[in-house]
Amino acid sequence: MSEVTPISGTSSETKRGPTAQDHARSLVHKYAIGAGASSLIPLPGLWIAITGLEAKLIKDIALAYGENLDNSDVAKLAALAGAKNIGVRVLGDVAIMIPLIGTLARMALFSGGVKGLGEVVIKHFEAKHPGALKAV
């Protein structure tokens, strides 16, 4: 007997639809690209705007799992990233002072920070809703 290979793009996507985790990971990817692209703007303190982007990401991931978070819940989940994120962001502001290499380093720091936070939030919701389908 031959093995049947799924035609759709992801192996975790079934006839029931995409999982919340798949959708959340695609959101993290998009937001990380946005953070990296915005890091090309040579403004000190831009990391404050990235923090707003992360708050929106947390809300969007929660919605993928069928939860609607208020601002205090978003703040609690953002705290999971801890002080590390602030240190990385300040380092990004210092890096921008170094032509070319600093810009590339800042891009990696900002997008990596968003990706790291997104993965922590996904793990949080996967623990609460293992294998959940994407909420409509």
Q: Are 50 and 86 in contact (CB under 8 A)?
A: no
Q: What percent of the chain has pLDDT over 70?
A: 85
pTM, two decimal places:
0.80
Q: pLDDT, tens digit, for every residue of 24-43?
A: 999 999 999 999 999 888 88
The count of other CB atoms within 10 Å of the CB of residue 44 is 12
For residue 81, the one-letter residue type is A
Q: What is the DSSP string of 84-103?
A: HHHHHHHHHHHHTTSTTHHH
Q: Are 66 and 135 in contact (CB under 8 A)?
A: yes
User: How many structural domains is the chain composed of?
Assistant: 1
Residue 12 within any structural domain of the chain: no
Residue 101 within any structural domain of the chain: yes
Asked if the model's pLDDT at residue 1 lies above 50, the reply is no
Domain residues for the domain of 66 are 20-126
Q: Are 88 and 54 in contact (CB under 8 A)?
A: no
Residue 133 within any structural domain of the chain: no
Q: Are 35 and 57 in contact (CB under 8 A)?
A: no
What's the rounded Cα separation, in Å, for the pair 123 and 136?
Answer: 20
Residue 56 within any structural domain of the chain: yes
Residue 49 within any structural domain of the chain: yes
Residue 136 within any structural domain of the chain: no
Q: What's the mean per-residue pLDDT of the chain?
A: 83
What is the rounded average pLDDT of the residues 5-11? 47
Residue 132 within any structural domain of the chain: no
Asked if the model's pLDDT at residue 101 lies above 50, the reply is yes
Among the residue ranges 1-10, 55-64, 72-81, 114-123, the one predicted with the least confidence is: 1-10
Asked if the model's pLDDT at residue 46 lies above 90, the reply is no
Whole-number CA gyration radius for the chain: 17
Residue 11 within any structural domain of the chain: no
Asked if the model's pLDDT at residue 51 lies above 80, the reply is yes
pLDDT top residue among 116 and 96? 116
